[in-house]
Amino acid sequence: MLKNRNLCGSMIAGAMFTSLVGAIATGCTSSATPNVQQGNGVNTNTPTQTVGGELENNSSTRVNQAQKVRSSTKNSANRVAKLDLKEGMPYQKARDLVIQQGWQPNLQGDAPNLQDTSVKELFDFGYEEVKDCSGTGIGACLFEFTNKAGELLSISATIADRSNIERVVWRWWIEKGTNSNQQTLVSSEQGKPPFIGTRLFNFLGGNGTGQSIAIASDGTTIVKLHGKFESSVQYNGKFSNPIILQDGSGLGLLLKDGKIYSLTSDGQIAKGCKGEGTVCESSLLEASSPPIADGFYILGGTDQGLEVKGEQYRYYDEEGKKEWRPISELNSIKENLVFDGKNYWCIPPRREIGVCSENGWIPAK
């Protein structure tokens, strides 16, 4: 189910739009802009969903409702028509088309549901605008785009064959009333990463509240929160600006003019980090830790190891070597000591038995 979007059969304060899942599961009508190919007529034999959740078969009522929808979204429907989207069009082609017309992936609102394997695969493929997928029925996935006018374009795409990546357009609609200030902020900052390497920042300025952002040359970006006793990964994926954290909070980070800003779940710059009304911003400080040396790092007392070579590393154990990973995932503590978010790894002195700790290699007594 697409989280936070199944609105059929309930009343929400203010004007809300019918969810993708509701449309898939029940066929309920939506106040969002309908597909252009549906705009020329109304199927009066199709039951509609009432506010109470019951199916209604009154043809005249359905016609009136549909007329009201078309009337209230006439201008938006014209904009949908100009997109030249077609049902069955490959999603990749549709995506390129709307981006060429000024739409950008919507990186605000709900964070991608990366707990879902289909969403994770699409996100890793480069579809950063994916939000969620339905695990039932035709298996539709929702993709969102925004423009400078503050509008939200939603595209529902289904699997074309057996591949999750190869999808085709099924439905699409435009919603008004998204935050235009938010979109201006986003669109003006998207592009290439502002730096390659690791930078440190701290919105609160306290002990155990520091964070780091590491950007590799291939765009892989890792954001970590460094607590007093351990570190946790808040984001691991392709670079985007803003970055929406993957911890389920919906919060984000915006890089702008050499600084980094904390964003609320609705895409606005947060306030109050260092006092009431203060903007949550921080300078980006280059990490002063020494570079991570090539070599073989160990825990001590186990067959597990970690090999560093250039800008990559990999684990190994008695079963063999694992796949290479970007070195930006590691934190350099001091010479010959790194931390991977779970364990400390050391290059030990030759022929010395011991264990690796947060302070370095500890010889066995």
Whole-angstrom distance between the N-terminal and C-terminal Cα of the chain?
Answer: 57
The arithmetic mean of pLDDT across residues 143-170, rounded, is 89
Q: Give the up-direction half-sphere exposure of residue 207: CA atoms within 13 A in the CB hemisphere.
A: 2
Q: Model confidence over 302-353: pLDDT tens digits?
A: 889 999 999 899 999 988 999 999 988 888 888 899 988 788 899 998 778 8
Sequence-ordered list of residues with C-beta below 8 angstroms from that of 170, at least 6 positions apart, any chain: 87, 138, 140, 156, 157, 158
Band (176; pLDDT cuts 50, 70, 90): low
State residue 40 phi and psi, 5-degree precision: -90, -5
Torsion angle (degrees, nearest 10) of CA 234, 236, 239, 242: -20
Number of Cβ within 10 Å of residue 163's Cβ equals: 9
- Pairing of β 104-105 and β 48-49: unpaired
Number of Cβ within 10 Å of residue 319's Cβ equals: 7
The arithmetic mean of pLDDT across residues 173-189, rounded, is 50
Q: Model confidence over 80-127: pLDDT tens digits?
A: 556 889 999 999 999 999 999 999 999 877 788 888 899 999 999 999
